Amino acid sequence: MSSSRLRTRKPTPEAVESADAAERRARKGARSSRVSVESRYRSWLSHHGAMARDSARRLLVTPIASLLTMLAIAIALTLPAALWLALDSARLLDNELNDSAQLTLYLDTSVSEGRALDLADRLRDEQGIGGVRLITAAEGMEEFAQALDLKRSLSLLDNNPLPASIMITPVDTTPESVHQLATRLESEPGVESARLDLAWLERLRQLGELGQKVTLGLAVLFGLGVLLVVGNTIRLSVESRRQEIEVVTLIGATHAFVRRPFLYSGAWYGLGGGLLACGILALGGSWLAAPVTGLVQSYGGNYVLPSLGLSGGAALLFSSTILGWVGAWFAVGRHLASISPR
Amino acid sequence: MIAFEHVGKRYGGRFDALAGLDFTVERGEMAFLTGHSGAGKSSLLKLIMLLERPSRGRILVAGHDIGRLHVSQVPYYRRQIGVVFQDHQLLSDRNIFHNVALPLMIQGVTPREQARRVRAALDKVGLLHREKALPVELSGGEQQRVGIARAVVNKPALLLADEPTGNLDPALSADIMRLFEDFNRIGTTVMIASHDLALIAGLHHRTLELADGRLIADKDAR
């Protein structure tokens, strides 16, 4: 029999459905389809809720196995997060160092104290200069003598061999602009030379950049690790629920419906792993706090070990949850592809 | 309701599980599919359920060429078909009520409507009093009746059954077949694969006989 004959003689399900619906409309008012959109939406929401609860319950049924998976995720997350924290604190340190980036102008020994004062006053009004401090030749000698405890031997000298100097604090502390400022000021009359030691600042900056890239690379690698851990765990749980998946697929479940409980499991694993990672970081921080503070104080510094804080913690939890979700998505997707009709 | 046009299914490039199938099952008809094990009964049902796609020819269900359905449309197509399995395929981790409610849950029916329809279906198969039981607490015949309730709970236009009485004794088998006849009487198209020739002979319905993947007989016993 041809399809057209079948179609003309036999009503399609849609036709039956609409006739059915028309009949129902006639009976009890407007109700257009068999399952209304509103009812579908509400039951979709309630299915989400049910699956979130059900997958959490399933994790709690095997607490040790679930905890181990979460621990694996937590360890994979802790390393890049700790590196990021260390880098962040290094950046703070870097800023502090930048603030102390100073430029020293050594004046000609022939320049009189009055002219030196004039120059200092003029520089104070110039753009790009935050602070100016004049150290006269006499003051320089005083400091030098005090620092080296050479008062007596220096007093033997007939005249002061030290030049006056001007300490400049630049406004913009990036290496390039400090460099530019130095060359500009060197050409000022009366200035013998401008000295600044940028090499180590630059090295520190490059080290920071390297650290940033290493952290990013590790974060990507360990993120993939989390995907694999979750993916593998979910794959096992898909295997153990194979029959259920096949049955619901046979009676008309969409891929989204089949995926949903596993996505929630993955998200719970990720969230649990993220929480554990936060815990590990907090523990590690308090463990290291005493020695780090002691070390920094011995250098006369004042430095507090960084912690994730609220936003950092939220970011960590969010990304771990997303990683868990995505890992589960891939694991179920592979299985769904294998049971599609061929 | 179902039309096969020169349908063939080949596995692994060489073995023809089904070949040259041409037949039509009208809306509201009840038909048996018989033949020895390996004759192709299950393969044929799998094609209708879109578990597999034919290698040749086309299959029309309710006028639609189901070979042209996109993967994303397959779930919605399957919702129009009720399927009963030989091993009933109930989910052991939930009770009878929730097993039967599964198709409605998938379709997004409200819980209140679900409860109403599940109870109607369970009542029809005579198991309303067991709705809180787990599948393992039921006998084989009762489990199969739950399987039927689940297949008809969303009032499908087409009901397929693959050896639904394969594991049951003759008296229970006759009960199950009577249930199928009841659903057929209210307009459901029913197609049942079975090798229980004695049982089929007593029921006086159309019988399609397969052998080696070919249709060798089409007898209308009415």
Lowest mean pLDDT among A136-150, B61-75, B99-113: A136-150
* Domain edge (last residue) among A150, A168, A197: A197
* Domain edge (last residue) among A163, A180, A197: A197
Span between the terminal Cα atoms of chain B, in Å: 19
Amino acid sitting at position A231: G
- Tell whether A237 and A193 lie within a shared domain: no
Closest-CA residue of chain A to B105: A43
Closest-CA residue of chain A to B81: A251
> What is the predicted pLDDT for the residue at A99?
57
Question: What is the side-by-side order of every strand in the sheet holding A103-107?
Answer: A129-135, A165-170, A103-107, A191-195
Number of domains in chain A: 2
Lowest mean pLDDT among A13-27, A241-255, B104-118: A13-27
Question: What is the side-by-side order of every strand in the sheet holding B64-65?
Answer: B15-25, B2-11, B56-61, B64-65
> What is the predicted pLDDT for the residue at A100?
60
- Tell whether A93 and A208 lie within a shared domain: yes
Q: Does A337 touch chain B (CB under 8 A)?
A: no
B106:A10 CB<8 A: no
Rg (CA), chain A: 36
A251:B63 CB<8 A: no
Residue A271 has pLDDT above 90, yes or no: yes
Tell whether A314 is covered by a domain.
yes
CA pair distance A128, A5, nearest whole angstrom: 89
Which residues, including other chains, have CB under 8 Å from residue A270's CB and lie 6 or more apart? Answer: A73, A226, A230, A320, A321, A322, A323, A324, A325, A327
Q: Domain of A168?
A: 102-197
- Tell whether A208 and A307 lie within a shared domain: yes
- pLDDT tens for residues B176-215? 899 999 999 999 999 999 988 888 888 889 999 999 888 8
> Which of A251, A259, A340 is the best mutation test for B, with the most CBs of B within 10 A?
A251
Which residues, including other chains, have CB under 8 Å from residue B82's CB and lie 6 or more apart? Answer: B150, B151, B152, B154, B156, B158, B159, B160, B188
Residue A29 has pLDDT above 50, yes or no: no
- Could you say which of A1, A41, A341 has the minimum Cβ distance to residue B53? A341
To which residue do tokens 């619906």 refer?
A21
> What is the predicted pLDDT for the residue at A22?
42
DSSP letter assigned to residue A158: S
Tell whether A24 is covered by a domain.
no
> What is the predicted pLDDT for the residue at B202?
84
- Tell whether A81 and A137 lie within a shared domain: no
What is the CATH classification number for the domain harbouring A150? 3.30.70.3040
Output the DSSP codes for chain B. Answer: -EEEEEEEEEETTTEEEEEEEEEEE-TT-EEEEE-STTSSHHHHHHHHTTSS--SEEEEEETTEEGGG--GGGHHHHHTTEEEE-TT----TTS-HHHHHHHHHHHHT--HHHHHHHHHHHHHHTT-GGGTTS-GGGS-HHHHHHHHHHHHHTT--SEEEEESTTTTS-HHHHHHHHHHHHHHHHTT-EEEEE---HHHHHTT--EEEEEETTEEEEEE---
> What is the predicted pLDDT for the residue at A342?
63
Amino acid sitting at position B35: G
- Tell whether A285 and A243 lie within a shared domain: yes
Amino acid sitting at position B90: L
Residues in chain A with CB shorter than 8 Å from the CB of B83 are 250-251
- Tell whether A80 and A209 lie within a shared domain: yes
Q: Does B27 touch chain A (CB under 8 A)?
A: yes
Q: Does A287 touch chain B (CB under 8 A)?
A: no
Residue B130 has pLDDT above 60, yes or no: yes
Residue A43 has pLDDT above 70, yes or no: yes
Q: B 82-101 residues with CB below 8 A of A?
A: 83, 89, 91, 93
**ipTM of the modeled complex:** 0.85
- pLDDT tens for residues A215-265? 899 999 999 999 999 999 999 999 888 888 888 988 889 989 999 999 999
- Tell whether A109 and A162 lie within a shared domain: yes
CA pair distance B18, A205, nearest whole angstrom: 73
> What is the predicted pLDDT for the residue at A69?
93
- Tell whether A209 and A167 lie within a shared domain: no
- Could you say which of A7, A13, A250 has the minimum Cβ distance to residue B78? A250
Tell whether A279 is covered by a domain.
yes
Q: Does B80 touch chain A (CB under 8 A)?
A: yes
Tell whether A291 is covered by a domain.
yes
> What is the predicted pLDDT for the residue at A11?
41
Output the DSSP codes for A97-144. Answer: HHHT--EEEEEPTTS-HHHHHHHHHHHHTSTTEEEEEEE-HHHHHHHH
- Reported as a pLDDT band with limits 50, 70 and 90, residue A3 is very low
Size of interface A-B (CB pairs under 8 A): 95
B103:A35 CB<8 A: no
- pLDDT tens for residues B23-53? 999 999 999 999 888 888 888 999 999 988 8
To which residue do tokens 């340190």 refer?
A93
Question: Hey, which residues does A170 pair with through a beta bridge?
Answer: A129
CA pair distance A105, A126, nearest whole angstrom: 15
If we measure between CA atoms, which residue out of A236, A40, A19, A194 comes closest to residue A102? A194
> What is the predicted pLDDT for the residue at A94?
63
Tell whether A92 is covered by a domain.
yes
The secondary structure of chain A in percent helix, strand, coil, rounded to multiples of 5, reads 75, 5, 20
CA pair distance A173, A138, nearest whole angstrom: 30
In contact, A166 and A116? CB cutoff 8 Å: yes
Helix axes A37-61, B111-124, angle to 10 degrees: 80
B79:A252 CB<8 A: yes
A39:B83 CB<8 A: no
Beta carbons within 10 angstroms of residue B3's beta carbon: 23
- Reported as a pLDDT band with limits 50, 70 and 90, residue A20 is very low
- Tell whether A92 and A139 lie within a shared domain: no
- Could you say which of B27, B75, B89 has the minimum Cβ distance to residue A10? B27
The tokens describing A212, both together, are 């940033």
The tokens describing A308, both together, are 């994730």
CA pair distance A198, A196, nearest whole angstrom: 6
Q: What is the pLDDT of chain B when averaged over all its residues?
A: 89
B102:A251 CB<8 A: yes
DSSP letter assigned to residue A193: E
> What is the predicted pLDDT for the residue at A330?
93
- Tell whether A213 and A80 lie within a shared domain: yes
Beta carbons within 10 angstroms of residue B51's beta carbon: 20
For the residues A195-209, what does the mean pLDDT come to? 75
Q: Does B30 touch chain A (CB under 8 A)?
A: no
Residue A95 has pLDDT above 50, yes or no: yes
- Tell whether A190 and A210 lie within a shared domain: no
Tell whether A59 is covered by a domain.
yes
A41 or B137, greater pLDDT: B137
For the residues B154-180, what does the mean pLDDT come to? 88
Closest-CA residue of chain A to B23: A1
Output the DSSP codes for A25-79. Answer: HHHHS---SSS-HHHHHHHHHHHHHHHHHHHHHHHHHSHHHHHHHHHHHHHHHHH
- Reported as a pLDDT band with limits 50, 70 and 90, residue A204 is confident
Residue A119 has pLDDT above 60, yes or no: yes
* Domain edge (last residue) among A175, A197, A219: A197
If we measure between CA atoms, which residue out of A201, A25, A6, A224 comes closest to residue A103? A201
Which residues, including other chains, have CB under 8 Å from residue A67's CB and lie 6 or more apart? Answer: A272
Q: Does A6 touch chain B (CB under 8 A)?
A: yes
Residues in chain B with CB shorter than 8 Å from the CB of A342 are 52-53
- pLDDT tens for residues A9-18? 344 444 444 4
Q: Does B73 touch chain A (CB under 8 A)?
A: no
CA pair distance A130, A116, nearest whole angstrom: 18
For the residues A198-214, what does the mean pLDDT come to? 79
CA pair distance A221, A95, nearest whole angstrom: 29
Residue A188 has pLDDT above 50, yes or no: yes
> What is the predicted pLDDT for the residue at A5?
39
Lowest mean pLDDT among A15-29, A140-154, B128-142: A15-29
Tell whether A88 is covered by a domain.
yes
Residue B60 has pLDDT above 70, yes or no: yes
> Given CA atoms B32, B37, B43, B46 in this order, what sign does their dihedral have?
positive
- Tell whether A85 and A191 lie within a shared domain: no
Residues in chain B with CB shorter than 8 Å from the CB of A18 are none
Q: Does B42 touch chain A (CB under 8 A)?
A: no
Cα A82–Cα A87–Cα A93 angle in degrees, nearest 5:
130
Tell whether A13 is covered by a domain.
no
B183 or A143, greater pLDDT: B183
In contact, B17 and B40? CB cutoff 8 Å: yes
Residue B101 has pLDDT above 90, yes or no: yes
